């Protein structure tokens, strides 16, 4: 549905988007995820037409639209600040796009009414934007874009201005809406939770290029780079060096103190160093009762740590662990689980990392 080929955008010396190729399928919910200033919004604006690529082409539904102005493109955008017309009421805001397309009056009325109902704004048609709450404005912005039945809907951090609770509710609502109308969504956010909840696929953007693109679970479980692992979800990231490489198994020394054995196939040929990443929830903890030194030495993939900090996170507890040599790790355990009850700040615990939960990243990445 949307295709960017070799797209590059420079503002003066600054390269905002660096040679990006991207395809978005019909009916797909794709999220462009990245920190602020990474170029994700510029990428979106090149699809909507507010920016013209310095190089490369933009295709919409099999048509090269690179040179078309925004008002000739069959896409609509939901703006971060909603950009509702303050001088028009809800009904006229929603009808704006249809009127610009010279849709027959009766048709406009009918479609606007349907859209108002769909986003749950019945009875507020005559209100001006400044008489609406943030969530209601959000719905008007959505309705205003969706009523045009665009081929692609572009959303630029549309939930950023909402409070946390409303944001979570809108995430679900937006996802359902997208599934119902079947329109392709391209969604820009810097919020990884949002991306995880809503997307079919995620493209992680960093410094103007796509670090990794793929289905949500793949991005989460198999991040391709340290940046992705770090940015998406929480991750412990530790340097490792190869101690002994055998045919099936390789022994690594992690952070100069933890021995880990992993399948050799996970490590690129000839690599002598790597980074290991693992999610906090993958760290398995057992209260330690034995003497410190002999344990860590004898059991592979296990090591002793001390609980340095305990953070209550609602549904989970987050533990900050410190190894004898001072390496810090984060672990997350369900709140109220028996193990947690037995472990407190200052206690020594035995950590276990299963090789399957370890993500091995090239040292260079």
Partner 1 sequence: MTPMPTATGLTTAGRPPGVAGWALMAPLATWLGLFVAAPLVILLAYSFCQRDALGQVVPAFSTHNYARVFDVVYLRILGSSIFYAGLTTILCGIVGYPVAYYMGRAPPRRQSRLLMLVMIPFWASFLIRTYAWMTILKENGLLNGLLYAARIIPDVLSGPMHLMYTPFAVVLGLVYSYLPFMILPIYGSVERLDGSLIEAAADLGAGPLRTFGRVILPLTWPGIAAGAMLVFVPSIGMFAVTDLMGGNRVLMVGNVIQNQFQGAGRDKPFGAALGVTLMALFAVSYLLAARSRRDRTR
Q: Is 144 in the site for partner 1 (CB under 8 A)?
A: yes
52 belongs to the binding site for partner 1 (CB under 8 A): no
Adjacent-strand bridge partners of 196: none
Task: State the DSSP H helix or E strand holding residue 292, giving kind and residue range, or none if neither.
Answer: helix 292-298
Distances (CA, A) of 237 to 36, 217, 255, 285, 291: 22, 19, 10, 18, 27
* Candidate list 21, 52, 122, 126; residue touching partner 1; CB under 8 A: 126
Among 31, 41, 76, 327, binds partner 1 (CB under 8 A): 76
* 265 part of the interface to partner 1, by CB under 8 A: no
The residue within the footprint of partner 1, chosen from 5, 15, 68, 83 (CB under 8 A), is 83
Residue 162 near residue 84 (C-beta atoms within 8 A): no
Determine the interface stretch with partner 1 among 74-82, 226-234, 240-248, 308-316 (rule: CB under 8 A): 74-82
216: its two tokens: 């949500």
Q: What is the smallest separation between the CB atom of 182 and partner 1, expressed in angstroms?
A: 21
Which of these ranges, 82-90, 229-237, 266-274, 357-365, lies near partner 1 under the rule CB under 8 A?
82-90
Residue written as token pair 């991207």: 22
By CB under 8 A, is residue 128 in contact with partner 1?
Answer: yes
Residue linked to tokens 């709450």 = 133
Give the single-character DSSP code of 19: E
Beta bridge partners of 312: 317
Nearer to partner 1, 14 or 85 (CB): 85
Question: Taking contact as CB under 8 A, which single stretch among the options 9-17, 72-80, 223-231, 269-277 is the one that binds partner 1?
Answer: 72-80
Binding to partner 1 by residue 96, rule CB under 8 A? yes
- CB closer to partner 1 out of 130 and 247: 130
Contact between 148 and partner 1 per CB under 8 A: yes
* C-alpha separations of 143 from 98, 118, 185, 266 in Å: 12, 8, 14, 48
**Cα 321 from Cα 330, distance rounded (Å):** 6
Q: Closer CB to partner 1, residue 96 or residue 275?
A: 96
Query: Quick one: 101 or 345, whose CB is closer to partner 1?
Result: 101
* Burial environment of residue 294 by CB neighbours within 10 A (0 to 12, 13 to 18, 19 or more): exposed
Which of 87, 165, 180, 291 is the binder for partner 1 (CB under 8 A)? 87
**Strand order across the beta sheet in which 14-24 lies:** 14-24, 2-11, 55-60, 63-64
Among 35, 37, 69, 263, binds partner 1 (CB under 8 A): 69
Which of 23, 26, 122, 131 lies at the binding interface for partner 1 (CB under 8 A)?
A: 131
Distances (CA, A) of 183 to 63, 154, 159, 295, 321: 18, 10, 19, 56, 46
Among 48, 212, 316, 330, binds partner 1 (CB under 8 A): 48
Burial of 62 (0-12, 13-18, 19+ CB in 10 A): exposed
From 95-103, 117-125, 174-182, 226-234, span contacting partner 1 (CB under 8 A): 95-103
Pick 127 or 207: Cβ nearer partner 1: 127
Q: Please report, as ranges, the residues that interact with partner 1 according to CB under 8 A.
A: 48-50, 69-71, 75-77, 79-81, 83-87, 96-97, 100-101, 126-128, 131, 144-145, 148
């Amino acid at each position: 549905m949307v295709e960017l080929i070799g797209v590059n955008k420079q503002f003066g010396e600054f390269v905002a988007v660096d040679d990006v190729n991207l395809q978005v399928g019909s009916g797909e919910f794709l999220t462009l995820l990245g920190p602020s200033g990474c170029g994700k919004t510029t990428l979106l604006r090149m699809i909507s037409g507010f920016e013209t690529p310095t190089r490369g082409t933009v295709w919409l539904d099999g048509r090269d639209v690179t040179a078309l102005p925004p008002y000739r493109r069959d896409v609509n955008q939901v703006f971060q600040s909603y950009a509702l017309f303050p001088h028009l009421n809800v009904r006229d805001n929603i009808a704006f796009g249809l009127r610009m397309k010279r849709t027959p009056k009766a048709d406009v009325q009918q479609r606007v009414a349907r859209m108002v109902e769909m986003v749950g704004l019945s009875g507020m048609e005559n209100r001006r934007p400044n008489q609406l709450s943030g969530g209601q404005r959000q719905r008007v912005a959505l309705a205003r874009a969706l009523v045009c039945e665009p081929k692609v809907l572009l959303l630029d951090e549309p939930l950023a201005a909402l409070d946390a609770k409303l944001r979570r509710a809108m995430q679900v609502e937006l996802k359902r809406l997208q599934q119902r109308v079947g329109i392709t969504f391209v969604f820009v956010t810097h919020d990884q939770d949002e991306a995880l909840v809503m997307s079919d696929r995620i493209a992680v953007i960093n410094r103007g290029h796509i670090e990794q693109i793929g289905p949500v679970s793949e991005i989460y479980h198999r991040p391709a780079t340290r940046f992705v692992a770090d940015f998406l979800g929480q991750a412990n990231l530790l340097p490792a060096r190869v101690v002994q490489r055998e045919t099936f198994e390789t022994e690594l020394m992690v952070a100069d103190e933890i021995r880990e054995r992993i399948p050799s196939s996970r490590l690129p040929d000839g690599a002598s160093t790597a980074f290991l990443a693992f999610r906090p929830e993958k760290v398995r903890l057992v209260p330690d009762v034995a003497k410190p030194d002999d344990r860590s030495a004898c059991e592979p993939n296990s090591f002793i740590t001390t609980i340095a900090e305990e953070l209550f996170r609602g549904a989970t507890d987050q533990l900050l662990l410190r190894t004898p040599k001072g390496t810090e790790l984060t672990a997350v355990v369900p709140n109220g689980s028996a193990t947690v009850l037995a472990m407190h700040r200052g206690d020594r615990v035995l950590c276990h990392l299963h090789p399957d939960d370890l993500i091995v990243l090239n040292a260079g990445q």
